[in-house]
Structures are given as structure tokens and as C-alpha cells.
Amino acid sequence: MGMTMTQKILAKHAGLDSVKPGQLINARLDIVLGNDITTPVAINEFKKSGFTRVFDRDRIAIVLDHFVPNKDIKAAQQSKECRDFAGCHGVSHFYDVGKMGIEHALLPEQGVVTAGDCIIGADSHTCTYGALGAFSTGVGSTDMAAGMATGMAWFKVPPAIRFELKGSLPKDCSGKDLILYIIGKIGVDGALYKSMEFTGEGVKSLSMDSRLTVCNMAIEAGAKNGIFPVDDITLEYMKGRCEREPVIFEADPDAEYEKSYEIDLSSLVPTVSCPHLPENTRPAHELGDIKIDQVVIGSCTNGRMEDMETAYRILNGKRVKDGVRCIIIPATMEIMKECADRGYISAFIEAGAVVSTPTCGPCLGGYMGILAKGERCIATTNRNFVGRMGHVESEVYLASPATAAASALTGYITRYSCGE
């Protein structure tokens, strides 16, 4: 029996010729990741277990991004604990104020992760790096602690679902619309502990930023990971960027998949996920007049340069609707600098938006955009559960940067048309 991409990567890192779904393995790790919320818990477990050294200071990444710059005393204490640990163990990939970024945008940008890697992170959206042809998945802080100490982790090899992409995305759609469509189709448990593997000639129409978005939200379908094949677009993105040589894996022609879906990209339309589950999706143009109070463009899902370009294209020379708070968050300092160099930040401010330093803040209801009772937000984030962005009686709608920016101008959830 042939193997999928994910199964091949896991077999290689377990030192095995082959693996099969359901098999328990112990695999070597290329990168162990944590953030300012999860790392302090992992540090505590690391110390409780009697560990005194990390397995490789160059294979651990600690990114302060959720509440940085620190929002309160608790956040400051958590960050200090991370700083002290990173300094004590000489962690080379430590990102703090000044060089920070949202972890799942930062690590690909900085070349810390690459094709063929096996990666764990104490954050559920670690599945993002599958866009580069890596196996990456979220784990708990205890697993992060063990990974930091031993460089190993155990896995149950996941079965796979294949998504065969055909055609090309319409100009008014992006990877966010694709993944929202898929989650709406299969549900939030439709890929539970499975690998979502994207194939087909339609893959070439997806930019790297769109692929990162798609893999980022694999967890919203319950998946263990999402993964794309390595093609010329991937190789061009990694060229001169990655610390390690990419290792390219391809699925065998006779690889087995539990299910297969065929998706015609050209048939997609701008899509919105309505409260209170990501699977509650509808075409944007079918929603009617849904008034909004806030717009958030950013997060580990949609805070990359392509997303900033989309927001600029729509907002430049126009004004955010009175009564709407528009918050734009470039995902890394490099992206923020590029926005400044291009004049995007000035344009956003002139349009009536505010621009934040990189942070996850509003996505998890932390800070920089909390909702009050009865308020409604359209966001480019990844989750819209009850109380996700603030009060339990607030509402979050998930959408692409284009839909979010267009909605900021009208004050209602609005489909963006490229002809506008």
C-alpha cells in the first residue's frame, strides 16, 4: 500500500520504511514551538520533570505574540518567564518586542520551517506550515516540554482526506474563501484527526499566502494537519530563506484516502462564516443587511503581505463608515515595515482605520479589539465561537480580507467586487 505525503514524512522521522493509519510512532522533531501563553506552562512541566537542558537550542522557537506588548501584569510575568528560559538555554529563535510577529506568519517568513519538516507547536494553528510541504501539528504544553527536552514526540499516524482542486480562483476570492467553503461542506469535525491533503492542477493558482491560510484553518475542520505538494511556487518562496535544505515528499500514486473531494475553484464565491461555528458558512451576497460595529484585518490566518495589499486596494482613498472601528494588524514586523515603505499605513489611517503592531490580541478576545454586549464584528481571524472576541452576547463573522475591508466602507457585511 502506498503512502500519503504526511505518512512519508512521519515514516522518515520515525526511522521506518513505512507507516499506516492508526500506527503509533515516535518521531524526531525539526522544530518545537511555543508562544507567550503556552510556553510558561511547558517550562513548568520541563522543570517538574527534572529536565535541565534543551535538546537543541536551534530547533526551539519561542514567539511572544498573544499579549505583546504586554497588556497587563500577568502577561508581563508570562513574557518574563519566556525571556528568562530562552536566555538560560540560549534559544536562538526567540522573538520579542522589536522583532516579534504572529508565530504562524513569522516562522515561514524567517525560514525557521521548511519542506519535509516534522514540527509540533503548543498552539492549535501550528498546522499552518503544511503549506510548505511539512508535517506540522498543534500539541499541548506537556508535549512541548517533552519535545524541548528530547527532540521527539509520539503520534498516531492519521488517515487522509484528499481535496483535488481544479480550475483557478476567481479574482474576488482567496484562500480564505476556499477553506471556509471546505469547512462549510465537511463541518468542524469533518476531518477529525485526519490529514487534509490538497492536490490537483488547481493548486498552482493558489499563492503561498493563500496556501498558508488554507492550512492554518485545517484545525477548524478538526484535522491533525493540512498539507500541500511542493511545487515551483513553494520552491521560489523558500529560495534563500530557509535554514535547512528542503526535503520534498510526494504521495504515492496508490496512496489510500478515506475520502476524496473534487473542488472547482472557479465556482467559488466570497464566503462568510456566521456565528457561532466556522462551519456555518454562506455566500457573502446572500446575507442581506447585517450591520457591523468592528472590522479586524489580521491574525495568523490573514495578516500577511497579500492581505495587506488587498486591504490597501479597497480602502485607499476611501473612508471607513462612521460608527465602524476598523483595526488592521500586519502579522510581522517585516510586513509592517513593508506596509510603511509602500505608504499603506498612511492610507489606512487616512481611511479612518487604526494600525497595530503584530499581535494575536483581538482574535482570542485578549486585547486590541474586545467586543461589548450586542456588538458584531467581521474578522479575518479563524474562530467565531460564543464569546471568542469578547462578550458572550457579541457576534463574530469570519471572512476574507477583501470582504472585511469592503464591509468597513459600508458598515454592513458586503461582498467585494473587483470592478468596484
Q: Which own/partner contact pairs does 183-187 have at CB distance under 8 Å and 24+ positions apart?
A: 183/217, 183/220, 183/221, 183/273, 183/278, 183/279, 183/281, 184/271, 184/273, 184/279, 184/280, 184/281, 184/282, 185/261, 186/161, 186/221, 186/261, 186/279, 187/221, 187/279
CATH of region 5-244+258-264, choose from 3.40.1360.10, 3.90.1150.10, 3.40.640.10, 3.30.499.10 = 3.30.499.10
pLDDT at site 288: 85
Q: Of 185, 137, 103, 123, nearest to 29 (Cα)? A: 137
- Tell me whether domains 5-244+258-264 and 273-410 share a fold: yes
pLDDT at site 243: 87
In the chain, the largest separation of any two C-alpha atoms, in whole Å, equals 62
The parts of the chain modelled with pLDDT lower than 50 are 420
Q: Could you give the C-alpha distances from 49 to 39, 46, 153, 353, 377, in angstroms and in order? A: 15, 5, 16, 48, 43
Domain locations in the chain as residue ranges:
5-244+258-264, 273-410
The residue to which cell 480564505 is assigned: 176
pLDDT at site 120: 98
Phi, psi dihedral angles at 334 (to 5 degrees): -65, -40
pLDDT at site 48: 95
Contact of 43 with 86, CB cutoff 8 Å: no
Contact of 226 with 5, CB cutoff 8 Å: no
Q: What is the 3-state secondary structure of the chain?
A: CECCHHHHHHHHHHCCCCCCCCCEEEEECCEEEEECCCHHHHHHHHHHCCCCCCCCCCCEEEECCCCCCCCCHHHHHHHHHHHHHHHHHCCCEEECCCCCECHHHHHHHCCCCCCCCEEEECCHHHHHHHHHCCEEEECCHHHHHHHHHHCEEEEECCCEEEEEEECCCCCCCCHHHHHHHHHHHHCCCCCCCCEEEEECHHHHHCCHHHHHHHHHHHHHHCCCEEECCCCHHHHHHHCCCCCCCCCCCCCCCCECCCEEEEEEHHHCCCEEECCCCCCCEEEHHHCCCCECCEEEECHHHHCCHHHHHHHHHHHCCCCCCCCCEEEECCCEHHHHHHHHHHCHHHHHHHCCCEECCCCCHHHHCCCCCCECCCCEEEECCCCCCCCCCECCCCEEEECCHHHHHHHHHHCECCCCCCCC
pLDDT, one tens digit per residue, over 138-161 is 999 999 999 999 999 999 999 999
pLDDT at site 324: 97
pLDDT at site 417: 74
The residue to which cell 503581505 is assigned: 305
Range 273-410 has CATH code 3.40.50.300: no
pLDDT at site 325: 97
State pTM to two decimals. Answer: 0.94
